[in-house]
Structure 1
Amino acid sequence: MAEQVQVFGFWESPFSRRVELALKLKGVEYQYFEEDLPHNKSDLLLKYNPIHKKVPVLLHHGKPIAESLVILEYIDDVWKENYPILPHHPHQRALARFWAKFIDDKVVVAVVKAAGSRGEDREKAIKEAREALETLEKEIEKSNKLFGGDDIGFVDIVGTVIAGWIPAIEECFGFQLLTTDNFPNLIKWSDQVVNHSIVNQILPPKTEIVAFMKANWKF
């Protein structure tokens, strides 16, 4: 039932949106609580995630789970029969975890660093981001499909931060990373992801992300 599953999130957060996407793909009803970020965190958010004090938080039968990658695995474990997100084979599952962590630790960190720096520091961060994206470009080239194969999977869900947020960051901060010349496979993959019927419902419009970044990302 919807009241048994609650999500504390924020509309602009790619980490929050990936949790909603997983639930939508699995057909799990949930109650959504929009946090007034970045400054007015609710008492419930602080109660359910006292360590990191951030979204997303999944509440299931009154028990909180924090951190988006952990939440995604939890969702897949609990609703196993509803649209598997992670591969069944242990080796493939391990690879999916590896690439998901690679996206968050390498790509996202470098892109945010590029947005928040200037001059030589920005060029260095852009170089780091491109190198990480080149690694992903080679990986997606192997399948020439989605990271999850024919269907949206764990890595694709995590990768919505690339497909949905990097173009907004490029526009907002005036540098370019993803081009058809440099990353044809990632561009093709991004187009498939953002045009997926359920992903399209979840991702905020680029114009709104850009407007939020311009108003709130004060580096």
Structure 2
Amino acid sequence: MQTYDVGRNVWATKGEKQEEAKKEFTEILRVLEGELGDRPYFGGKTFGLTDISLIGFYCWFYVYETFGNFSIEAECPKLIACAKKCMEKERLSKSLVDPHKVNDFVLGMKKNLGLE
């Protein structure tokens, strides 16, 4: 299953299915964190394309945490530290959608899909 599908199951499901999705989602993030290691960026000391990919996904983390009732930072602190370091780049941080707006979007999707 793809990361997007697993993430969707975190916010779109409840109960046992959601718990399974949270576990699978966390495992995916732990693999990424393992690849990151102790480096500040995936490319070492240099910000690169993999970091940009992470940041595009990072603005959705608030949604997963809110609907899944868990902390990604508690599960993957190094990955979140990398994301926060990337967000210090003003051009990048200003180009992303506010996580609360993403959450509002998901709330609307849930309503339209009858998932409330």
Q: What is the RMSD of the two structures over their aligned residues, measured on CA atoms?
A: 2.0
Letter in structure 2 aligned against 1:167: Y
The TM-score with structure 2 as length reference comes to: 0.81
Give the number of equivalent residue pairs.
112
**1:123 Cα deviation from its structure 2 partner:** 0.8
Largest Rg, 1 or 2: 1
Segments of structure 2 that go 5 or more residues without pairing to the other structure are none
Secondary structure of 2:72's match?
Answer: coil
Query: Which residue in the other structure is 1:196 paired with?
Result: 89
Q: TM-score, normalised by structure 1?
A: 0.46
* Aligned twin of 1:128: 24
Higher share of residues assigned helix: 2
The letter for the 2-side match of 1:176 is F
1:188/1:161 Cα in 2 relative to 1: closer, same or farther (>3 Å)?
A: same
Separation in 2, partners of 1:205, 1:168: 11
Cα distance, 1:209–1:128 mapped onto 2, change above 3 Å: same
Gaps of 5+ in 1: 1-104
Q: Do the aligned partners of residues 165 and 208 (structure 1) sit closer, same or farther apart at CA in structure 2, a change above 3 Å counting? A: same
1:148 to partner: Cα distance? 2.8
Highest relative contact order (Cα 8 Å, sep 6+), 1 or 2?
2
In the TM superposition, 1:73-84 aligns within 5 A as none
Q: State whether structure 2 residue 61 is matched by structure 1 residue 175.
A: no
Match of 1:210 in 2: 103
Structure 1 contact 115–169 (Cα < 8 Å) conserved: yes
Aligned-pair identity (%): 23
Higher-strand-fraction structure = 1
